[in-house]
């Protein structure tokens, strides 16, 4: 039977994975910026990078973004504090 801590950990891992998968999009925009030459639109490349970072951080209409991970992390930490995990047997106490 899954505990609240197990559920919170699974949700945290899921949210983390969703954010990590979007890092490639940020790296792509950053690579475009780095490869800009003197005749390229550096401001436009910076703006595109900023937009992508903002999108990954806040999510969008269909995604949570990094703020979903933050909420999942808070829930996980609260579940750890409440001790809703499996009982721990301490020896020698």
DSSP 40: S
| 93 assigned to some structural domain | no
**Domain with 68 in it:** 4-81
Please report, to the nearest 10 degrees, the dihedral formed by the alpha carbons of residues 45, 47, 51, 56 taken in order.
60
| 92 assigned to some structural domain | no
| 91 assigned to some structural domain | no
Q: Is the pTM of this model over 0.75?
A: no
* Residue-wise pLDDT tens digits, 7-24: 999 999 999 999 999 999
| 88 assigned to some structural domain | no
Please report, in angstroms and rounded to a whole number, the separation of the first and last CA atoms in the chain: 28
Q: d(Cα 49, Cα 53) in Å, to the nearest integer?
A: 6
| 87 assigned to some structural domain | no
| 86 assigned to some structural domain | no
Tally of structural domains, the chain? 1
| 42 assigned to some structural domain | yes
* Residue-wise pLDDT tens digits, 60-81: 777 778 988 999 999 999 998 8
3-state secondary structure (DSSP) of residue 90: coil
């Amino acid at each position: 039977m899954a505990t609240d801590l197990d559920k919170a950990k699974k949700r945290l891992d899921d949210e983390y994975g969703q954010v990590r998968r979007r890092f490639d999009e940020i790296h792509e925009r950053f690579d475009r910026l780095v490869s800009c030459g003197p005749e390229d639109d550096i401001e436009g490349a910076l703006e595109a990078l900023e937009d992508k970072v903002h999108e990954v951080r806040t999510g969008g209409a269909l995604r949570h973004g990094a703020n979903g991970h933050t909420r999942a992390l808070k829930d996980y930490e609260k579940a750890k504090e409440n001790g809703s995990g499996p009982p721990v047997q301490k020896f020698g106490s």
